[in-house]
Structure 1
Amino acid sequence: MTSLFSIDWQSLATRSRLLRVLAILLALLLIMLLGWFAALRETQNAYRLAGEQSRDALQALATRKAEVAGLEPERAALASARLQLQEARWRLDAGEGMSELLEQLAVSGHEHGLLFEHIEVLQEGQSTAGYRRVPLDIRVLGHYPALRGWLEQWQQQLRLLQVAQLSLVQVSGKPGLVRAQLRVHAYHAGEPLPVPPSLADEPSRPPVASSAFDPFQPWPSGPSADGLGRIPLEQMKMVGSLSTAGRYQALLSVAGHLHRVGEGQRLGRDEGVVVRIDEQRMEVRERLYMAGGWQQRSRYLALGKGARGEGRDDEGEAGSGVGVGAADGDVPGAGSAPEG
C-alpha cells in the first residue's frame, strides 16, 4: 500500500498528456501523408493523361504538316493565277486614264492623215466586279489604207480596246474618201495597279505596214497588153525584165511571141491587172466570183521558176500558193536587162 501511494501521480498525469499530444500529432502526420499520397497519385494520373494528349497533338500536327506540304503546288498555282489576273487587270487600262487614251487616238489619227468628225465618251458604262467598261462613239474620215493602218496600230497598244461595231461608207462626191463609224469599248481596272514585271520581256512591236489596196476604189480597167487579156496566165512565161528610171516592165513569151507588159495593164482571163513588177517576177491581181461574192487573189509570173501557186493578196488573206513562171532557156537570150 505504501508503494502505491508512493507513485508520483502528478508526473504520471503530465506524461500522459504529453503522450496524447504526440499521438494526436502522429495521427495528423499520418493523415497528411495519406493525403499527400492521394494527391500524388492524382497528379500522376493527370501527368499521364497530359502526356497522352501531347502525343496525340504531336501526331495531329505531323499530319497537318504533311497536308500543308501537299498543298504547296496548289498554293504556287494560286499565286501564279493571282499574278496573271492582276496583270490582265492592269492591261485593261495600262495605268492610263481616258484623257491619255483620247490623246493617243488623236496623235495616231494625225499620223495617218485622218480627220475626226465626232468623238463621244458615253456614260452608260457597265460596272462589274474588278473593272468598268466605257463605250466611245467615234466617226473618222480618211482613205481606206490609212484607216486600216490606224485601226491595226490602235489595236496593238497595251491597253485593251474592243471594237464592238464598225461600219465603213464611201463618202458621196469625194472619191477615195471613206467614213468609219466605230463603237469602241474601253476599260478601267477601278484601282491603280503596279506595272507587271512580264512587260519587260515583251518584244517591241514592228511598225504597221500600210496596204495600198482599197476595196472602195473601182477595179482598174487599164488597157489590155496586146490582147493578153484573153489568154490564161498558165500559157504565159516571164523570160526577162526591162527597167527605166527604176520602173520595170516584164517580158512575156506567149505562143512563141515576145510581149512587153507594164503595171496597170490587163492580163489573163479573170480580169487580171498587173499591180507590181520587179526584176524577178510580176504580180497579177485577179477578180473572181467565189462563195457568193467577188474575191481578189494575187498570182505571180516568176522568172526562172516552174512552180505554180497563189500568193497573198493585199488584204492579207493567204491563198494556196501559186507562182506561174518558166524555166531558164525557154526563150533564147531571155533575162533581165536595162532598157537603153
Structure 2
Amino acid sequence: MLSLKEAASWPLTNRLLCAGLLGALMAAAVYVAWLAGLGASLQAAQEEEARLRAAYRLSRAKADRVPVLREQQRQAGAALASLERQLPRQQEMADLLSSINQAGLDRGLHFTLFKPGPALPATQPAHYVALPITVQVRGGYHAIGAFAADLARLPRIVTVHELALVAGNDGVLTLDAVLHAYRLPDAAELAVQAKLPPVKMQPLPVRRVVVPFAGSDYDAAGLPDPFGAAVLAVAATQNAVAAPDLKRAREPLESVALSEMAMVGSVQHAGRLSALIQAGGRVHVVAMGQHLGQDHGLVTAISEQGLRYREVLQEANGAWRERRGGIDVQTGKVLKPVIVEAQP
C-alpha cells in the first residue's frame, strides 16, 4: 500500500497519476471561482436592466404627456396674458382708486377712511405689484354686499382682505377691510425683482373642473339682513333729527368734501367774525349759518382758532342723524396767491 510519506519512492506511473489528479482538483477550484464571479456579474447586469427598463417606462410616460403639458403651457400663457391686461400701469392707478371710491358712493356708503399704503415689496419675481388700501365704510348690510360685488365687476383686479363687519352704537354697520389693487411693475421694480433668487418651480396641480361664476351682480338683496334686528334695536334707542330741506338751493362749498377744506384764518366781515376757508384753489369767506360739505353741513360757530359745523346724514334705516365736527386754523402755512370770494 502506497504511503504519502514515501511518495518520493513511488513508481513513476503512480507519481504521474497523483500529480494529474492534484492538477485536476486545482483546475476545478479555479473554474468554480470563475463561475461564481460570472454569476455575480450576471445578477448585477439583470438589476441594471430592470433599472433601465423602469427609467425607460418613466421617460416614455413623460414623453406621452408632452402634448398635455404643452397645452397646459399654452392655457397658462393665455390666462397670464388675460390677467396682465387687467393690470393697470402706475400712472393709471389714480383712476382705479377713483373707481373704487365711486363704487362705494354709488351704493350710498360713506367712507370714513380711504388710505392707500405703499406698494408691498415682492419676495420673489412676480408679474404684478400689490397696493394695499385700508378702508372703513359705513352703511347698510346689502349696500356693503353690493359694493363688494361692484369691486368684482371692475375691469381691474381688486381683492378684499382682513374683512370685519360690525354694527355700531349708532345702528349703522361699519366695514373695515384692506383692499389690494394690483398693477404692473415699473422699470425700477423689475430691476429689483431681477436681483431676487430664482424660485423653484412647483409641479402643476391636478386640473379640476370648475363651474364658472355666472356673474358678479349682488343677488342677495331679498334675503334677511343678519344685522337688521341689532341695527333697528340700536336705532330705536336714539333720537332721529329732522330731515334737511332737500329742495333748497345748494351753496358753492357744498360741492367740496370737508376733507379738502382748510381754514387759513379769520376776518371781520359785516360786523361779525367770518372764517377764511381755502378750497379748490380759492379762499372763501364763510359766515355763521352758511352751508358747506357734502352732507348738509351747517356752520354753527366761528372763532379765531377754527369753526364748528353740524352735518345731517341719512343712515341705512332711513333715519337722519346728526354729526358734529370742526376745522381748525392751519398755523404757519404759507398761502399761494388765491382769489377771495364772499359767499352770498
Same fold (TM > 0.5): no
Query: What TM-score, normalized to structure 2?
Result: 0.35
In our comparison, the structure showing a higher alpha carbon Rg is 1
Query: What TM-score, normalized to structure 1?
Result: 0.35
